[in-house]
Amino acid sequence: MAALIKEIKPFREAMRKEIGRCELCRSGKVSLHEIAQGFGRRRLALDKRGLIVGLCEGCHRMVHSMGLKGKVLCLAVLLARRPADYNLQLFWEVNGRRWPDHEEVLAALETLP
């Protein structure tokens, strides 16, 4: 895993710089949050634009506390802030199931600030 982290570090630093501020609340210092998590999945998400959102520390904690609803919210953030990176099919493939559906993501989109 250490070799992978070193290999993708330039990609992640460039992405963090490109995003600039929290994609949810639009403020704060950004850290990258992998939407697809769990055994083996996080590794697959480390360098996929469609599986990463930039969040401030507060929003990052909030999304984790929301459980599965937090993942839907992050997909909505991707759709709203970086529509070219939104890829629900990729999320399904990495997570091994067809959840959530696009309508759930659209509903979460309505809750974004």
* pLDDT at residue 95, rounded to an integer: 87
Does 1 reside within a domain? no
Two tokens at 50?
A: 């469609």
pLDDT tens, 62-91?
Answer: 999 999 999 999 999 999 999 999 999 999
What's the total number of domains in the chain? Answer: 1
pLDDT tens, 8-62?
Answer: 999 999 999 999 999 999 998 999 999 986 666 667 888 999 999 999 999 999 9
* pLDDT tops 90 at residue 3: no
Does 51 reside within a domain? yes
Does 3 reside within a domain? no
On whether the pTM is more than 0.85, the answer is yes
Query: What distances in angstroms separate CA 100 from CA 6, 19, 91, 107, one per listed residue?
Result: 32, 25, 9, 11
* pLDDT at residue 44, rounded to an integer: 80
Residue type, 64: H
Q: Which residue has the tokens 């997570």?
A: 95
Long-range contacts of 15-18 (CB under 8 A, 24+ apart): 15/49, 15/52, 15/54, 16/54
Does 47 reside within a domain? yes
* pLDDT at residue 43, rounded to an integer: 74
Does 4 reside within a domain? no
Two tokens at 92?
A: 């399904």
Cβ–Cβ under 8 Å, residues 33 and 74: yes
Does 60 reside within a domain? yes
Segments forming the whole domain that contains residue 71: 9-109
